[in-house]
């Protein structure tokens, strides 16, 4: 019994080439960062889980961008009869103030996405900067930053956020963004520092030093590009956390009560005892939206893992 | 631009010692009171097993590590005292060729990028001049046609080709001394001669001094004139390469020579006249 | 009857992007009981892949695409899961290149032995700690290590000691075939000798069949009785080790031998082989070594040379070992160059 699934390629008269084929083929006419992102998205797309995640994110982005067109009514208008269940005018029913739930949901995507992504970017920027600085040069700076990172890791995130949000006088989305970014950078910083420490001992980093490159350039042009998948993973993880954190803060009433976001819908639902009045959609819909958005970031992260570890790539 | 023998000063290592605090409160002495000189234009090999301190010496000579005691001088320049900008200037004159062809090149940078950086940094060249010099360097190390290799990424090159790029990069700024840390030990045996011959020729053509670090005695014999045998951080034997290898005085040198697996020197396993080999080649 | 018999083994690597790479092509192989065979070649020749294929250790993206591998009469090429595991007990074992990679850093050596012995214990076999300890000490003794090593962790051992532990672990199940994949490459030059000597002595005493995979022709010729030389995925020469230094051989083997030399000789020359090995993701026409071969003739470019008798062994060379089985190039066929 033998396994005969395929034979080596048949003999043909092709000449033996001397040069190995290039992977992409085209000349580099586009700037490198664009090619990078392009290749990144293509690889992510080839991973099934990441593809689902990307599609979901795409849908939410569309929802947020075209909210005025998609939402049947204005989210803040209180024209409707309050405490109504689903009806032909209000597919998801109305809140205790007479607002249309579906419109709120659609517009709410804007805040969740904005806060989620912005806080994610902010946290990642801090994490990358601190992680790289402390990872590149052992010494006082490294010790100092590590200490602060460990401190930030140990302090419980949500309680800290609550305290900060409660004491900051201005109540706006940007407060939330700042607070969330401020409390989510530590894990990323730790991970990036480890990777930087590993990479800095590699010969190509020493080689760059021998080529006369200055430390800043070594860090940002030699080490960082080799960590893109790690940075991407940190970003998506931070964004996931940010989406959940933002929803939590709004739900607790620590956000601006006039903003329309999924968290405030939940907050209002709680205040108005939605579950008691039988309006489970008021809780279920925003809850599901938050969960799906967070899930989509996580799914994309599976694909990012595959970017850096070829064994996880699906064929 | 290439260094000339008359302008390359001697590199003197003077009673250099490097000690690290060990894990169990003792000190690990990686390099123990080592002294030697690399004369201008000379080719010296440093042989020893791993852990003998070879790499530490290489780092001390290139300024990446400072000796715990003793001095390293390049002409009248004290290498120990260099850091920052001074160290960068030093690397204009003293370069290193690394061991691992798979780790010495940034996987994301093209060959052209890797070769133009030292030209821009050390020689102040414009992008176009640097590119031209990069092409010249590729020709020098035998990677022709240059415009075919310049846009390649490391994973598209074979081990031998990568090592040639590493050598080209070291040459780019026109150094006077090259420290080659086991430059061919990770290459296939059949590819080593080509790369080593390149190194030897370049040394002669450009009047470079060369410190060749290796555990392979055969290549040490071919590439260098003087040899230093390192064991446990100390130099146990030194002299003209041919003399030391033919008439070793230290027991460790003898051990190293014996360990060279040379099919011609050692008698192979008993040649069977009958038995398993005969039956397996018949009738299959 | 031969202990291990392989026919038309083909192994391919399927990367996520790019072409399929054939790393082992059409290998036929027979190993007899008690033979010590060397598998020699340079990077990319497929020797490690072949070693892994024979011991059924290939992992994706590598795949055994076709072929029959028969161990002691049983076809193991198609076995999976539990059946394969049974074969490993008293069957075949693989010693990896780096002892450190094969050992779990958070378990001590004794645990490693216990793991293996427990996993493959037969009915009614002793499981007691003392019995495991004794067996462990016995095995360590065979590789000239002290019993106290059982309590040590891998990072507390030197490279040479770790490799000996790996070898002892391979012996634990009393295999009849052990494949050593570059067992000494990662070791210090001086330690290499000692470990190789241990392997040789073990093989002679225990009489298991051994395959030594190495890129170092010198090491292989010293330790083995028979040498197989691989190039571009094929076996291109198969000779008794003693014969390799004299007589005529495959041009690649000769060129490879020429790269070695005695540093003590009066005059020393460093030789290499010009060019580089072929790209295995592309179809290969004719003899893979032809572009670098000083002896190439027209048929070398067109037809893959089969293994044909040369001296007391075989070689795959149209010039040195022409085979009657090769059909003459038909009239009118284009010579591509």
**Residue C279 touches chain A, beta carbons under 8 Å:** yes
Given an 8 Å threshold on Cβ–Cβ distance, is B263 in contact with C244? yes
Given an 8 Å threshold on Cβ–Cβ distance, is A10 in contact with C283? yes
Look at residue A49 in the predicted model and tell me its pLDDT. Answer: 86
Given an 8 Å threshold on Cβ–Cβ distance, is A3 in contact with C14? no
What residues pair up with C314 in beta bridges, in sequence order?
Answer: C238, C309
* Min Cα–Cα distance to chain A from C21, Å: 9
* Min Cα–Cα distance to chain B from A2, Å: 19
C334: tokens are: 């284009």
**Residue B50 touches chain C, beta carbons under 8 Å:** yes
Look at residue C327 in the predicted model and tell me its pLDDT. Answer: 59
**Residue B262 touches chain C, beta carbons under 8 Å:** yes
Contacts of C92 (CB under 8 A, 6+ apart): C4, C54, C55, C71, C175, C176, C177, C178, C179
Mutate to test the interface with B, among C34, C272, C294, C310 (most CBs of B within 10 A): C272
Given an 8 Å threshold on Cβ–Cβ distance, is B172 in contact with A225? no
Given an 8 Å threshold on Cβ–Cβ distance, is C226 in contact with B215? no
Backbone angles phi, psi at B118, to 5 degrees: -60, -30
Give the residues of chain A that fall short of pLDDT 70. 1-37, 39, 307-315
User: pLDDT tens digits for C245-293?
Assistant: 888 899 999 999 988 888 888 888 888 888 888 888 888 888 999 999 9
Residues of C in contact with A314 (CB under 8 A): 16
User: pLDDT tens digits for C165-188?
Assistant: 988 888 888 888 889 998 888 787
Contacting subunits of A (3+ beta carbon pairs below 8 A): B, C
Residue B270 has pLDDT above 60, yes or no: no
Contacts of B278 (CB under 8 A, 6+ apart): B272, C312
Global confidence as pTM: 0.80
Query: C154: helix, coil or strand?
Result: helix
The mean-pLDDT minimum among B19-23, B193-197, B235-239, C307-311 falls in: B19-23
CA C175 to each of CA A63, C39, C49, C71, C311: distance values in angstroms, whole numbers, following the listed order: 64, 19, 20, 12, 32
Cβ–Cβ under 8 Å, residues B171 and B192: no
* Min Cα–Cα distance to chain A from B201, Å: 22
User: What is the chain A residue with the closest CA to C11?
Assistant: A8
* Min Cα–Cα distance to chain B from C54, Å: 18
User: What is the chain B residue with the closest CA to C255?
Assistant: B190
Give the Cβ contact number of residue B273 at 10 Å: 10
Residue C218 has pLDDT above 90, yes or no: no
Mutate to test the interface with B, among A207, A230, A308 (most CBs of B within 10 A): A207
Cβ–Cβ under 8 Å, residues B114 and B69: no
**What's the gap between Cα B123 and its chain centre?**
24
**Residue B111 touches chain C, beta carbons under 8 Å:** no
**Residue B119 touches chain C, beta carbons under 8 Å:** no
Q: How many beta-carbon pairs below 8 A join chains A and C? A: 72
**Residue B137 touches chain A, beta carbons under 8 Å:** no
The mean-pLDDT minimum among A29-33, C91-95, C325-329 falls in: A29-33
C166: tokens are: 């790996």
- Of the candidates A20, A207, A211, which has its C-beta nearest B98's C-beta? A207
* Min Cα–Cα distance to chain A from B242, Å: 32
Look at residue C278 in the predicted model and tell me its pLDDT. Answer: 85
Residues of A in contact with C285 (CB under 8 A): 11-14, 16
Which ranges of chain B would DSSP assign to H, the alpha helix? 54-61, 85-93, 111-123, 127-140, 146-149, 159-172, 189-206, 217-223, 241-246, 251-259, 276-281
**Residue B272 touches chain C, beta carbons under 8 Å:** yes
Q: Please compute the mean of the pLDDT values over residues C74-88 and round it to a whole number.
A: 77
Q: How confident is the model at residue C322 (pLDDT cuts 50, 70, 90)?
A: confident
Residues of C in contact with B160 (CB under 8 A): 276
Q: Please compute the mean of the pLDDT values over residues B153-161 and round it to a whole number.
A: 87
**Residue B21 touches chain C, beta carbons under 8 Å:** no
Mutate to test the interface with C, among B189, B196, B201 (most CBs of C within 10 A): B189
Is pLDDT larger for residue B38 or for residue A84?
A: B38
Summarize chain A as % helix, strand, coil (round to 5): 70, 0, 30
The mean-pLDDT minimum among A9-23, B45-59, B140-154, B159-173 falls in: A9-23
- Of the candidates B215, B220, B263, which has its C-beta nearest C189's C-beta? B215
Query: A249: helix, coil or strand?
Result: helix
Look at residue A3 in the predicted model and tell me its pLDDT. Answer: 29
Q: Going by DSSP bridges, is the β-strand pair B77-78/B69-74 parallel, antiparallel, or unpaired?
A: antiparallel
Given an 8 Å threshold on Cβ–Cβ distance, is C304 in contact with A11? yes
> What angle is formed at CA C174 by the lines to CA C168 and CA C179, rounded to 5 degrees?
65
Mutate to test the interface with B, among C242, C263, C269 (most CBs of B within 10 A): C263
Given an 8 Å threshold on Cβ–Cβ distance, is A203 in contact with B103? yes
- Of the candidates B105, B108, B122, which has its C-beta nearest A225's C-beta? B108
Given an 8 Å threshold on Cβ–Cβ distance, is A4 in contact with C66? yes
User: pLDDT tens digits for C5-41?
Assistant: 899 999 998 876 677 888 999 999 899 888 999 999 9
Please state, in angstroms and rounded to a whole number, the distance separating the CA atoms of residues A289 and B15: 71
* Min Cα–Cα distance to chain C from B265, Å: 7
Given an 8 Å threshold on Cβ–Cβ distance, is C66 in contact with A20? no
Look at residue A307 in the predicted model and tell me its pLDDT. Answer: 67
Check if the interface score ipTM surpasses 0.95: no
User: What is the chain C residue with the closest CA to A12?
Assistant: C285
Look at residue B274 in the predicted model and tell me its pLDDT. Answer: 33
**Residue A5 touches chain C, beta carbons under 8 Å:** yes
């Amino acid at each position: 019994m033998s396994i005969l699934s395929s034979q080596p390629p048949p003999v043909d008269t092709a000449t033996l080439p001397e040069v190995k084929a290039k992977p992409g083929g085209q000349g580099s006419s586009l700037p490198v960062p664009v090619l990078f992102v392009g290749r990144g998205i293509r690889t992510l797309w080839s991973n099934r889980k990441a593809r689902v995640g990307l599609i979901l994110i795409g849908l939410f982005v569309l929802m947020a961008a075209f909210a005025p067109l998609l939402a049947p009514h204005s989210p803040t208008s209180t024209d409707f009869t309050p405490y109504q269940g689903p009806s032909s005018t209000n597919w998801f029913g109305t809140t205790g103030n007479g607002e249309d739930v579906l419109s709120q949901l659609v517009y709410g995507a804007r805040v969740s996405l904005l806060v989620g992504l912005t806080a994610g970017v902010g946290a990642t920027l801090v994490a990358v900067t601190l992680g790289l600085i402390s990872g590149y040069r052992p010494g006082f700076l490294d010790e100092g930053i590590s200490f602060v990172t460990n401190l930030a890791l140990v302090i419980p995130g949500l309680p800290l956020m609550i305290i900060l949000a409660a004491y900051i006088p201005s109540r706006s989305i940007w407060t939330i963004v700042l607070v969330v970014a401020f409390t989510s950078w530590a894990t990323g910083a730790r991970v990036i520092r480890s990777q930087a420490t590993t990479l800095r001992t590699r010969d190509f980093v020493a080689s760059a030093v021998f080529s006369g490159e200055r430390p800043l350039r070594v860090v940002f042009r030699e080490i960082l590009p080799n960590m893109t998948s790690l940075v991407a993973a940190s970003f998506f993880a931070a964004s996931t956390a940010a989406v959940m954190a933002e929803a939590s803060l709004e739900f607790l009433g620590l956000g601006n009560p006039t903003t329309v976001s999924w968290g405030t819908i939940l907050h209002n639902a709680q205040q108005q005892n939605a579950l008691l009045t039988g309006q489970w959609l008021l809780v279920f819909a925003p809850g599901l939206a938050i969960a799906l958005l967070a899930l989509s970031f996580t799914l994309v992260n599976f694909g990012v893992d595959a970017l850096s570890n070829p064994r996880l790539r699906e064929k | 631009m290439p260094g000339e023998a008359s302008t390359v000063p001697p590199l003197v290592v003077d009673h250099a010692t490097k000690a690290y605090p060990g894990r169990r409160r003792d000190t690990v002495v990686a390099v123990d009171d080592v002294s030697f000189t690399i004369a201008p234009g000379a080719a010296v090999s440093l042989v020893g097993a791993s852990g003998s301190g070879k790499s530490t010496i290489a780092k001390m000579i290139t300024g990446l590590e400072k000796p715990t005691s003793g001095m390293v001088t390049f002409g009248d320049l004290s290498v120990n005292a260099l850091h920052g900008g001074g160290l960068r200037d030093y690397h204009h004159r003293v370069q290193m060729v690394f061991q691992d062809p798979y780790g010495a090149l940034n996987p994301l940078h093209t060959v052209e990028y890797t070769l133009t950086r030292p030209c821009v940094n050390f020689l102040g060249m414009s992008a176009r001049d640097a590119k031209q010099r990069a092409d010249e360097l590729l020709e020098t190390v035998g990677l022709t046609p240059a415009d075919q290799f310049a846009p390649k990424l490391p994973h598209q090159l074979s081990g031998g080709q990568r090592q040639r790029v590493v050598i080209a990069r070291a040459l780019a700024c026109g150094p006077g001394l090259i420290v080659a840390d086991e430059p061919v030990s990770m290459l296939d045996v059949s590819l080593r001669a080509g790369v080593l011959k390149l190194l030897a020729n370049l040394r002669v053509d450009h009047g470079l001094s060369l410190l060749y670090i290796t555990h392979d005695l055969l290549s040490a014999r071919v590439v260098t004139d003087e040899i230093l045998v390192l064991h446990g951080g100390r130099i146990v034997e030194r002299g003209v390469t041919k003399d030391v290898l033919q008439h070793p005085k230290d027991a460790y040198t003898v051990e190293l020579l014996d360990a060279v697996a040379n099919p011609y020197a050692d008698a192979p396993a008993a040649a069977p006249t009958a038995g398993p080999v005969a039956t397996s080649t018949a009738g299959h | 009857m031969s202990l291990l018999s392989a026919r038309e083994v083909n192994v391919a690597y399927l990367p996520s992007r790019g072409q399929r790479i054939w790393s082992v092509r059409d290998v036929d192989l027979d190993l007899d009981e008690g033979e010590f065979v060397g598998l020699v070649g340079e990077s990319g020749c497929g020797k490690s892949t072949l070693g892994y294929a024979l011991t059924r250790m290939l992992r994706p993206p590598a795949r055994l695409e076709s072929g029959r591998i028969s161990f002691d009469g049983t076809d193991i090429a198609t076995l999976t899961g539990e059946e394969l595991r049974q074969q490993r007990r008293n069957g075949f074992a693989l010693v990896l290149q780096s002892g450190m990679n094969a050992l779990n850093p958070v378990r001590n050596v004794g645990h490693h032995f216990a793991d293996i012995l427990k996993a493959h214990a037969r009915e009614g076999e002793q499981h007691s700690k003392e019995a495991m300890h004794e067996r462990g000490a016995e095995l360590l003794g065979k590789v000239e290590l002290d019993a106290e090593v059982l309590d040590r962790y891998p990072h507390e051992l030197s490279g040479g000691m770790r490799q000996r532990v790996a070898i002892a672990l391979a012996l634990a199940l009393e295999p009849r075939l052990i494949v050593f994949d570059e067992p000494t490459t990662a070791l210090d030059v001086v330690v290499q000798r000692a470990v190789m000597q241990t392997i040789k002595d073990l093989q002679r005493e225990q009489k298991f069949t051994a395959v030594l995979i190495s890129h170092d022709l010198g090491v292989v010729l010293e330790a083995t009785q028979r040498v197989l030389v691989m190039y571009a995925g094929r076996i291109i020469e198969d000779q008794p080790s003693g014969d390799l230094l004299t007589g005529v051989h495959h041009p690649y083997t000769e060129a490879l031998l020429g790269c070695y030399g005695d540093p003590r000789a009066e005059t020393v020359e460093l030789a290499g082989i010009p060019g580089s090995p072929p790209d295995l993701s592309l179809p290969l026409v004719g003899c893979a070594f032809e572009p670098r071969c000083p002896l190439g003739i027209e048929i070398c470019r067109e037809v893959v040379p089969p293994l044909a008798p040369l001296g007391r062994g075989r070689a795959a060379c149209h010039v040195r070992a022409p085979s009657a089985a090769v059909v003459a190039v038909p009239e009118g066929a284009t010579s591509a160059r």
